[in-house]
């Protein structure tokens, strides 16, 4: 498979038949959802490794109600465990990396090398129009030798992200160990212009490796020319994180943040499934995590859970037909408790009752879920406003920003403190930038979009 990815024309022919091989998996487009991980475990309602809660916006289905929300909150305990890593770094050495961007990348990788030890496996793949293994996957040994290899890389050629990713995944698979965290780091400054360039196909490939091979992907965008939407979407599809490295100072900070997160874990191979009453409700949106849906079941592959890390997930359902009976939402969380070395299972049930009594509706409203609805909706409005600006539609963007600020300020919690305060500030800051948009340089606009999108991503992930 490595050689096939070095021949873009071959892939274009495969795409015509709407199928590709990746990570030893034949994918037919469009694919159905895949069940992530092993859904079996020891039922452990009292396990404190992960605090797991689920809440409906209202436990009564009120008259004329059009939407139902389910909020899921997962939080890791205070103490984690150091789990060995199996990482492949896929490093862009295309011609556009000349100068400071190559410097940013080397600083980031030097930091990574300094914080790994002999229990960790590391490989380095470099790519331009082709890909090659600079350092094969093996336990980390001579750090000086690794850094010297990096510092002898010279930019050249085009950007074939798919070739680099394929080789990176192969390196991780060559030393795959389920007791380790198996991961690919992608560092790039540009847009793919050779190999597979279609964003949808790249995301599907990454999703396949995440689901079938349990290898996640974290992306690092360098400078201000890269496609931040693609880098974000690949990280989401790959079950990892997305980072923006604007300057050399951010290089160590951002990769350091990822490494420090990975070095302490409370749970591995974590998966969430939610069975909802599909006869009455249709899934409309999932905020906070990438997901797949099979029938009346929503599946989310969480990978790892870290100490004090909060994963907030809001599911929005639209009403297909009014309820005339009580219905049930069943949520199951399975994970490997790394402290006890045991596969665990937690379950939650939420009942939605049918009623014609509006007084019952008012009493049973969950204010904390209403706050999350405001939070994720306003976050989504900011993301949509940035897309409008990308399309030179400033008036539409301003309207969405105005709406976002309004729903926060008019909510019960308001914009004075907490998570809504941070989201309000992000929206207001971007709105202020639009007031003198015509005076900004093209470079300033690119930087602002990348920094705002990255900030909004971190807010959405509650980081």
pLDDT tens, position by position, 69-116: 999 999 999 989 999 999 999 999 998 888 888 888 888 899 999 999
Range of lowest pLDDT (35-44, 213-222, 344-353, 406-415)? 35-44
Q: Which residue in the block uniquely carries the two structure tokens 């331009």?
A: 128
- In the DSSP assignment, the letter for residue 238 is T
Q: How many CA atoms lie within 13 A of 48 on its CB side?
A: 3
* pLDDT at residue 75, as a whole number: 96
157-203: pLDDT as tens digits: 999 999 999 999 999 999 999 999 999 999 998 789 999 999 999 99
* pLDDT at residue 190, as a whole number: 74
pLDDT, mean of residues 269-291 = 96
121-140: pLDDT as tens digits: 999 999 999 999 999 999 99
Q: Are 298 and 273 in contact (CB under 8 A)?
A: yes
Statement: residue 13 has pLDDT above 50: no
Q: Whole-angstrom Cα distance, residue 388 to residue 390? A: 5
Strands, DSSP E only, in 14-130? 19-22, 25-28, 42-43, 50-56, 60-61, 67-76, 85-92, 121-127
Statement: residue 118 has pLDDT above 90: yes
> Quick one: pLDDT band at residue 250, thresholds 50, 70, 90?
confident
Statement: residue 274 has pLDDT above 80: yes
* pLDDT at residue 115, as a whole number: 92
- Other CB atoms closer than 10 Å to residue 445's CB: what's the count? 15
Report strand pairing: 60-61 vs 50-56. unpaired
Q: Whole-angstrom Cα distance, residue 69 to residue 58? A: 8
Q: Whole-angstrom Cα distance, residue 404 to residue 393? A: 17
- In the DSSP assignment, the letter for residue 31 is P
Statement: residue 216 has pLDDT above 60: yes
**Residue 368 backbone dihedrals phi, psi, to 5 degrees:** -70, -35
Statement: residue 370 has pLDDT above 80: yes
pLDDT, mean of residues 303-323 = 95
- Burial label for 155, CB within 10 Å (0-12, 13-18, 19+), is middle
What percentage of the chain carries pLDDT values higher than 90?
70
Q: Pick the more confident residue, 444 or 19.
A: 444
pLDDT, mean of residues 44-73 = 90
429-456: pLDDT as tens digits: 999 999 988 899 988 998 999 999 999 9
* pLDDT at residue 301, as a whole number: 95
Statement: residue 29 has pLDDT above 50: no
* pLDDT at residue 40, as a whole number: 54
Write out the two tokens for 368.
């904390």
Q: Are 413 and 373 in contact (CB under 8 A)?
A: no
């Amino acid at each position: 498979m490595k050689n096939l990815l070095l021949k873009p024309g071959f892939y274009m022919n495969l795409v015509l038949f709407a199928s590709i091989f990746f990570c030893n998996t034949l994918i037919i487009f469009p694919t159905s959802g895949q069940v992530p991980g092993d859904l079996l475990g020891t039922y452990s309602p009292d396990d404190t490794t992960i605090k797991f809660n689920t809440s409906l916006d209202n436990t009564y289905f009120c008259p004329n109600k059009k939407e139902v929300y389910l909020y899921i909150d997962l939080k890791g305990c205070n103490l984690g465990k150091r789990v060995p890593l199996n990482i492949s770094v896929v490093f862009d050495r295309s011609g556009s990396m000349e100068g400071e961007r190559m410097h940013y990348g080397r600083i980031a990788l030097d930091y990574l090398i300094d914080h790994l030890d002999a229990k960790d496996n590391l490989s380095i793949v470099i790519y331009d129009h082709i890909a090659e293994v600079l350092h094969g996957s093996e336990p980390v040994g001579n750090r000086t030798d690794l850094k010297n290899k990096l510092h002898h890389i010279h930019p050249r050629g085009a950007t074939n992200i798919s070739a680099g990713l394929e080789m990176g995944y192969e390196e991780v698979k060559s030393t795959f160990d389920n007791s380790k965290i198996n991961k690919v780091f992608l560092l790039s400054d540009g847009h793919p212009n050779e190999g597979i360039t279609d964003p949808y196909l790249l995301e599907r490939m990454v999703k396949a490796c995440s689901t079938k091979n349990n290898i996640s992907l974290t992306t690092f965008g360098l400078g201000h020319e890269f496609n931040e939407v693609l880098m974000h979407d690949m990280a989401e599809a790959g079950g990892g994180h997305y980072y923006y490295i604007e300057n050399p100072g951010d290089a160590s900070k951002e990769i350091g943040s990822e490494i420090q997160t990975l070095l302490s874990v409370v749970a591995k191979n974590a998966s969430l499934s939610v069975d909802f009453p599909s006869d009455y409700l249709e899934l409309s949106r999932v905020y906070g995590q990438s997901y797949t849906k099979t029938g009346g079941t929503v599946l989310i592959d969480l990978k790892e859970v870290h100490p004090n890390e909060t994963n907030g997930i809001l599911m929005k359902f639209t009403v297909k037909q009014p309820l005339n009976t009580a219905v049930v939402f069943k949520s199951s969380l399975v994970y490997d408790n790394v402290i006890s070395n045991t596969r665990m299972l937690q379950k939650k049930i939420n009942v939605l009752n049918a009623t014609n009594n509006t007084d019952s509706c008012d009493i049973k409203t969950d204010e904390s879920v209403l706050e999350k609805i405001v939070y994720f909706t306003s976050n989504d409005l900011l993301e949509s406003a940035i897309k409008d600006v990308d399309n030179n539609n400033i008036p539409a963007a301003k309207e969405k920003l105005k709406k976002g600020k309004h729903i926060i300020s008019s909510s019960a919690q308001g914009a004075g403190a907490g998570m809504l305060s941070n989201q309000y500030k992000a929206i207001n800051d971007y709105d202020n930038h639009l007031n003198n948009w015509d005076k900004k340089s093209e470079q300033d606009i690119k930087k602002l979009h990348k920094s705002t999108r990255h900030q909004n991503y971190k807010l959405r992930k509650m980081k």
